[in-house]
Amino acid sequence: MIETTAQLEEACRALAKSAFVTVDTEFLRETTFWPELCLIQIASPDLEVLIDPLASGLSLKPFFDLMADTNVVKVFHAARQDIEIIFHLGGLIPHPIFDTQVAAMVCGFGDSVSYDQLVGKITGVQLDKSSRFTDWSRRPLSEKQLDYALADVTHLRDVYRSLKIKLERDGRALWLTEEMAILESRETYDLHPDDAWLRLKSRLRKPPELAVLRSIAAWREREARSRNVPRSRVLKDDALFEIAQQQPRDAEALSRLRTIPKGWERSSAGAAIVGAVNAALTLPKTEMPQPAKQNHAPEGAQAATELLKVLLRLTAEKEGVAAKVIASSDDLDKIAAQGADAEVAALHGWRRDLFGDKALKLISGEIGLRFVGRKVEAVEF
């Protein structure tokens, strides 16, 4: 367990000599906006270390320098939350990276396969996951916790090697490029408060409603960040939607809303909400958000989508690739409705070669589906 900056500097110098390192973190987030980093695990082919970020006086700069070293591939499993922590604390995004969960989907291990499942399938080792939801902020950590934490990076070495070999053998190494680019993009982790409303699933359609929703969602985002509490601790999504619909212009109107706690309208937060509502409603109509255009699918598009789902499943099974990596449900809907004009990932690059061209042929009648010998197959006319 590394607890001093000198120890960390020495370890990171050794780790930087390797072509790759496997990385994982343990953190708590139930009561905070930002994850509370409690433990860092790293392994190279010949070194394994645990880093205690809660140790007094420890600087994580050597760790961040390693994450920024472009000569070392950083291997994660389901990397997004780990990278978010590194981005928040270190102001950087590791590069280059390799996400074994994404690679496993390309290699035919199914959709969003878990780490323990992947380790079991590749190495035959059955991991003990009973320590996963323990309190990682409590010191000292138990031997069981430490064993669990180390296993998250030691077995990842074998998983990485196996997947890398398979990707290169099958000529699919470049297939990961697009997914890794998303994980390495600053925009993935640096959400602007004014864009927070875009993550909310609502049925609001009127520009004034959307303007209010954007305004109060941005206020909530800033408030949650500054107080370091979950967004729901500031205001729940249901309250945002009701405020956007009812548009209370003063404290009395705010107090009549069902989702607002009694007396909350007299608080500074209540005043801020009312101010945000009024500011949104004074915007010129041209500056208010406009509802997304609803494209009415042509007749028969729904049936075409169902056929495309079958074709996608056939393709995924034949090629040994998770279906969700090839095309999303939204992709299929757009292809069914718009054909070759659909601007979707499934009609570009390797996805088009694998599936997109066949999808277009299916909806144009050049390919058919038939049931033979208890199996569905695609046939060209």
Residue pLDDT, tens place only, 225-244: 999 999 999 999 999 999 99
> Residues 252-273: pLDDT tens digits?
999 999 999 899 999 999 999 9
Nearest to 21 by CA among 80, 94, 115: 94
φ, ψ dihedrals at 297, nearest 5°: -65, 140
Bridge partners, 73 (sequence order): 20
- Average pLDDT, whole number, for the chain? 93
- pLDDT tops 70 at residue 209: yes
Q: Are 161 and 119 in contact (CB under 8 A)?
A: no
- pLDDT tops 90 at residue 166: yes
- State the pLDDT confidence band at 93, using cuts at 50, 70 and 90: very high
- pLDDT tops 70 at residue 116: yes
pLDDT at position 294 is: 64
- pLDDT tops 90 at residue 292: no
pLDDT at position 110 is: 86
Distance CA 109, CA 149 (A): 23
- State the pLDDT confidence band at 301, using cuts at 50, 70 and 90: confident
The end-to-end CA distance of the chain, in Å, is 65
Mean pLDDT of 273-289: 96
> Residues 6-22: pLDDT tens digits?
999 999 999 999 999 99
Bridge partners, 36 (sequence order): 28
> Residues 147-164: pLDDT tens digits?
999 999 999 999 999 999
DSSP 115-168: HHHHHHHHH------TTTTS-TTSSSPPHHHHHHHHHHHHHHHHHHHHHHHHHH
Number of residues that make up the chain: 381
- pLDDT tops 90 at residue 178: no
Mean pLDDT of 181-199: 91
> Residues 30-57: pLDDT tens digits?
999 999 999 999 999 999 999 999 999 9
- State the pLDDT confidence band at 112, using cuts at 50, 70 and 90: confident
Sheet of strand 97-99: strand arrangement: 47-51, 36-44, 20-28, 73-76, 97-99
pLDDT at position 297 is: 62
pLDDT at position 296 is: 63
Task: List, in order of start, the domains of the chain with CATH numbers.
Answer: 5-188 (3.30.420.10), 193-282 (1.10.150.80), 301-380 (1.10.150.80)
pLDDT at position 295 is: 61
pLDDT at position 129 is: 86
pLDDT at position 190 is: 87
